Amino acid sequence: MDEEGQLTQPQDQSCWATLPDVCLHRIFWWLGDKDRSRAALVCRRWNQMMYSADLWRYRAITFSGRHSRVHAYEFESAVWYVKKFGRYLEHLEIKFLTPYSVVLTKKFQVTMQGLLSCLGKRNNRLKSLSIQYLELDRLVWRNSVRSLFLKSLSSFLKKMGKHLDHLNLKGARLTVEQGCHILNSLSYLRTESAVSELNIEDYFSHRLAVYSSPQFNQTMATFRNLVSLTLNYNCISDELLENLGENNAGTLWSMNIKCHVHDPHGQVVWGMSWAKLARYATKLKVNFVFEKVVQYERLARILLQEIPIRSISLRNCSFSNPDWSMKPTLTDLLPTFRHTLQKLSFEFNNNHESLDEELHLLILSCRELFYFNIWAFLDVNFVEQILKSQEEGRCALRTLKVRIYTNRYETPEEDRTLRHIYRKYRMLIDSEFNYFSVAYCMT
């Protein structure tokens, strides 16, 4: 553009005029919508290039949950984008950030109704859809608005189900009936769903015993091509594991399971069911995340030795409980999986007991362990012990992240010791380690 805003052609001697299309594509790929709009006005060649499918395959749309003039444009631009470039979309991610009023949820519902309707008519190549953290069980969602949104989503999935490869509805918070209705839309007029990656973590509302629902198990039986499945432990049952073994044995690679203290997790799941699934799905690796579920008795009911566990994450609340101990879990339960464990992540308040020795022995016993992350009350020398073991070849960590809790307001001594440890093992850390350590005041 010249100073008067007139459309101009690049001069022949300009490097931009002779730049290959592949280079321009790469440059335009990094630009935002406003910059792309300006670039499209430069010349006819650039304008035509803006309609290249490569530039519009991926889209992340974020709607703010707060009233603001700045964010009001988000709703209009989302529909405009789908009308203009929706036919090129292959990967769509939508986020609605914690709405605080019924007005915004209604506006979001109306916007999504138009967006999904337009996309369903114009697009036949969408492979991935992610709509996260809607929390549809909150009071800001009126029943009528929630029903209309779910109707729009169901209609869209019925049209696009045969194309979708990845579906992420994490944090939707639905009833069992609502959730199954949406998932059944993927296999509409077909006997099975083509989705290979399914994320339904926190998809159902808290405190629902989904594992006892025949409807849920019937719905999951329609998935015949799953590679990765993410869900909550309150969905796990012998029937589900049997369905997965029968219908996805040749494809199932990963299961990611979250167990939250507010979700029912006292169901009996037999080890033979896990063993049968592992026998059929030979490449299966299971990853567990426990939120405030750290009691040994509860963990032992869930972490059965027949499960091919790859990673475990244990997160507890910030309050110390003298009646609770992590030692049995560290010394008796977790070593059961020493031949398969590759990642361990801990976050707990153990102010009432020392766990340095138990943690060190656990790391040494897990020969496949390459990632270790911990936030806990530890002695600073724990870090040096791990680094020394790594240097001696007694463990094979590639990532070590340690946050050392302390009750003191200031941590100069700990900081000084950590700096000394870093200097001592700097050659080891710089050569092969993703390393982080810090002292953190908990008072």
* Residue 341 lies inside a defined structural domain of this protein: yes
Q: What is the pLDDT of residues 295-332, one digit of tens each?
A: 999 999 999 999 999 999 999 866 667 778 999 999 99
Strands 228-232, 254-260: pairing is: parallel
Percent of the chain surpassing pLDDT 70:
95
pLDDT digits (tens, 9 = 90+) for 69-128: 656 667 778 888 888 889 999 999 999 988 889 999 999 999 999 999 999 999 999 999
Report the pLDDT value the prediction gives residue 319, as an integer from 0 to 100. Answer: 64
Report the share of the chain in percent with pLDDT over 90. 73
Given a cut of 70, whether residue 12 has pLDDT beyond it is no
| Alpha-carbon span 188 to 275, nearest angstrom | 32
CB burial readout 262-280, b (16+ within 10 A) else e? ebbbebebeeebbbbbbeb
- Where is pLDDT greater, at 421 or 64? 421
Task: Using the predicted structure, report yes or no on whether residue 6 has a pLDDT greater than 80.
Answer: no
CATH number of the domain at 328, please: 3.80.10
With a cut of 60, say whether residue 7 has pLDDT above it.
no
Say what the pLDDT of residue 8 is: 53
Indicate which CATH number applies to the domain containing 38.
1.20.1280
pLDDT at 1 > cutoff 60: no
Cα–Cα distance, 422 to 430 (Å, whole number): 10
Q: Has residue 393 got a pLDDT over 90?
A: yes
pLDDT reported for residue 69: 64
pLDDT in tens, 123-140: 999 999 999 999 999 999
Domain membership of residue 393 as a residue range = 286-442
Is there a domain that residue 313 lies in?
Answer: yes
Final residue before a domain boundary, out of 55, 74, 102: 55
What's the whole-number mean pLDDT along residues 239-246?
97
196, 232 in Cβ contact below 8 A? no
Q: Is residue 291 one of the residues assigned to a domain?
A: yes
Tell me the pLDDT band of 229, cut-offs 50, 70 and 90.
very high
Decide which of 55, 70, 102 is a domain's last residue: 55
Give how many domains the chain has, as a whole number: 2
In one-letter notation, the amino acid at residue 264 is P
pLDDT band at residue 419 using 50, 70 and 90 as cut-offs: very high
Is the residue at 407 inside a domain? yes
Mean pLDDT of 339-348: 96
Q: What is the DSSP letter of 187?
A: G
Q: What is the mean pLDDT of the chain?
A: 92
What pLDDT shows up at residue 72? 64
- Residues 395-409 have pLDDT tens digits of 999 999 999 999 888
Q: What is the reported pLDDT for 442?
A: 81
pLDDT confidence tier of residue 33, bands split at 50, 70 and 90: confident
Q: Per residue in 161-218, pLDDT tens?
A: 988 999 999 999 999 999 999 999 999 988 889 999 999 999 999 999 999 999 999 9
In a domain, 396, yes or no: yes
Q: Count of alpha carbons within 13 Å of 407, Cβ hemisphere only? A: 6
Under a CB-based contact definition with an 8 Å cutoff, are residues 59 and 81 in contact?
A: yes
Angle between helices 176-184 and 143-160 (to 10 degrees): 30
- What residues have CB less than 8 Å from 144, skipping those under 6 apart? none
CB-CB contact of 149 with 187 (8 Å) = no
Q: Is residue 221 part of a domain?
A: no
Does residue 327 sit within a domain? yes
pTM, entire model: 0.92
Residue 409 belongs to some domain of the structure: yes
Q: Is the pLDDT of residue 55 over 70?
A: yes
The answer to whether the beta carbons of residues 151 and 189 sit under 8 Å apart is no
Residue 36: pLDDT band with limits 50, 70, 90: confident
* 429-438 average pLDDT score: 92
The whole-angstrom distance between residue 21's C-alpha and the CA centroid of its chain comes to 35
